[in-house]
């Protein structure tokens, strides 16, 4: 479905005509900074990049409806309730989470038709919780925060030029994600009985998929005098099962953007973007991740989300680019309960020579 949708968009776009001239330095030559692998390079060119991405989540949702912490604690079944000492409902409820990511990237074009790309990530996650007292009721025993951080997975991709004219370009992305992050991060919690055990952190707080994942996509960009637009489909397909006996859900993104230089200068541009994101549920289960909390259930990770973003770009004639984008969801359908996304901010720097 995703591929057919993208082919339709790309095929339709050829009805447009424009007079964009290659080689003219424009800030809108690139997609918004949150879009990965949006462009390729000419033979011999090198680019280094750094991105800082911060995503905030707060409040729980099932499907498209919000649900209160009290309602989760008193009505949502705990799938581990048959185990000794486990309450019948989810007595530990996440209230908010921040995910910060530092991304270092490099691109090199050995030939005009192909650009090689590598990216390493450092993750810093923080989740806040409320713990309800005992086996039932709405009395809150207390709150606690868990944190995990470290190296994430490493990605290698090839961007293969499929079409380039004076007015548009199209390329294919094919790559792999290598599991270089941890799957055994731990956290100290406050349980409903008032004890503070150290346990394995839930799936969303781990730093890796634990599998070799395929990355594939298509990116199309078109340029007019005074404005540009583009669209991208990109998917991450999980392969096999990791060492802890589970597989993260596949992820798919379809995004489209419109960008326009500021009046009287081509060095600054602003952009607006829409994105559809789909993530499947986790298959399998880590036997060490369990407890009366929604994040311990692998069935609570599927999501469909539509977001919009606003960005700004600054590019110089000497190969430097600085860009910022702020994204907010406008619709979410969550296989929950799970925390809903509130916003995402990406700040980036790129240098090409």
Q: What digits encode the pLDDT tens for the residues 314-353?
A: 998 889 999 999 999 999 999 989 999 999 999 999 999 9
- Does 102 have pLDDT greater than 70? yes
Give all strands (DSSP E) within the chain, no chain letters. 46-63, 65-67, 92-111, 114-132, 140-151, 154-164, 168-178, 186-188, 198-200, 213-224, 227-237, 246-247, 251-261, 268-279, 283-284, 303-315, 320-352
- Does 265 have pLDDT greater than 90? no
Q: Which helix (H) or strand (E) holds 190?
A: none
CA distance 276 to 305: 6
Backbone torsion region of residue 272, taken as left when φ is above 0, otherwise alpha when ψ lies between -120 and 50, otherwise beta: beta
DSSP 256-286: EEEEEEPTT-SSEEEEEEEEEEEEPPPEE--
- Does 108 have pLDDT greater than 60? yes
CA distance 60 to 254: 25
Indicate the length of the chain as a whole number.
Answer: 353
Q: Which residue has the higher pLDDT, 279 or 4?
A: 279
Q: Which residue has the higher pLDDT, 83 or 14?
A: 83
- Does 2 have pLDDT greater than 50? no
- Does 6 have pLDDT greater than 90? no
Reduced to 3 states (helix: H, G, I; strand: E, B; else coil), residue 287 is: coil
Q: Which residue has the higher pLDDT, 166 or 339?
A: 339
What's the confidence (pLDDT) of residue 180? 98
Cis peptide before 337 (omega within 30 of 0): yes
Question: What is the mean predicted confidence (pLDDT) over 295-313?
Answer: 98
Please give the backbone phi and psi of residue 243, each rounded to the nearest 5 degrees, phi first: -65, -15
Q: What confidence tens digit (pLDDT) does each residue in 10-55 have?
A: 343 333 333 333 444 678 889 999 999 999 999 999 999 999 999 9
In percent, how much of the chain has pLDDT > 90?
87
Task: Give the domains, in start order, of the chain with CATH numbers.
Answer: 2-352 (2.40.128.130)
In percent, how much of the chain has pLDDT > 70?
93
CA distance 248 to 203: 9
What's the confidence (pLDDT) of residue 199? 97
Cα angle vertex 321, ends 320, 327, to 5°?
165
**Which residue, among 267, 154, 131, has the nearest Cα to 207 in the 3D structure?**
154
Q: What confidence tens digit (pLDDT) does each residue in 121-147 have?
A: 999 999 999 999 999 999 999 999 999
What's the Cα-to-Cα distance from 258 to each of 11, 152, 262, 311, rounded to whole Å? 18, 31, 13, 10
- Does 100 have pLDDT greater than 80? yes
Question: What is the mean predicted confidence (pLDDT) over 107-119?
Answer: 98
What's the confidence (pLDDT) of residue 236? 98
Give the pLDDT band of residue 7 (cuts 50, 70, 90). Answer: very low
Average pLDDT value for the chain: 92
Residues with Cβ within 8 Å of 99's Cβ and at least 6 positions away in sequence, in order, are 54, 55, 57, 123, 124, 125
């Amino acid at each position: 479905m995703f591929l057919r949708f993208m082919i339709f968009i790309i095929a339709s776009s050829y009805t447009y005509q424009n007079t964009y001239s290659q080689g003219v330095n424009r800030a809108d030559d690139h997609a918004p900074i949150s879009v990965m692998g949006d462009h390729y390079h000419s033979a011999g060119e090198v680019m280094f990049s750094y991105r800082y991405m911060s995503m905030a989540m707060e409040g729980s949702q099932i499907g498209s409806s919000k649900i209160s912490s009290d309602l989760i604690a008193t009505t949502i079944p705990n799938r581990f309730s048959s185990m000794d000492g486990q309450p019948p409902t989810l007595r530990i409820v996440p209230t908010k989470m921040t995910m910060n990511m530092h991304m270092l990237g490099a691109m090199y074009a050995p030939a005009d038709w192909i650009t090689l790309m590598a990216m390493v990530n450092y993750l810093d996650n923080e989740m806040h919780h409320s713990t309800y007292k005992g086996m039932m009721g709405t009395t809150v025993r207390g709150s606690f925060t868990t944190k995990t951080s470290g190296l994430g997975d490493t990605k290698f991709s090839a961007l293969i030029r499929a079409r380039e004219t004076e007015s548009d370009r199209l390329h294919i992305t094919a790559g792999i994600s290598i599991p270089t992050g941890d799957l055994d991060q731990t956290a100290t919690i406050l349980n409903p009985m008032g004890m503070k055990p150290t346990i394995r952190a839930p799936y969303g707080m781990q730093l890796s998929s634990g599998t070799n994942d395929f990355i594939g996509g298509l990116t199309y960009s078109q340029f007019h005098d005074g404005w540009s637009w583009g669209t991208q489909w990109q998917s991450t397909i999980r392969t096999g099962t990791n060492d802890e006996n589970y597989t993260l859900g596949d992820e798919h993104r379809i995004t489209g953007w419109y960008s326009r230089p500021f009046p009287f200068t081509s060095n600054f541009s602003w952009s607006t973007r829409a994105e559809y994101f789909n993530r499947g549920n986790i298959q399998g289960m880590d036997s060490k991740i369990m407890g009366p909390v929604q994040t311990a259930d692998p069935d609570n990770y599927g999501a469909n989300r539509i977001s919009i973003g606003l960005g700004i770009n600054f590019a110089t004639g000497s190969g430097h680019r600085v860009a910022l984008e702020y994204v907010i969801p406008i619709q979410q359908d969550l296989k929950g309960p799970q925390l809903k996304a509130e916003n995402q901010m990406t700040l980036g720097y790129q240098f090409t020579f």
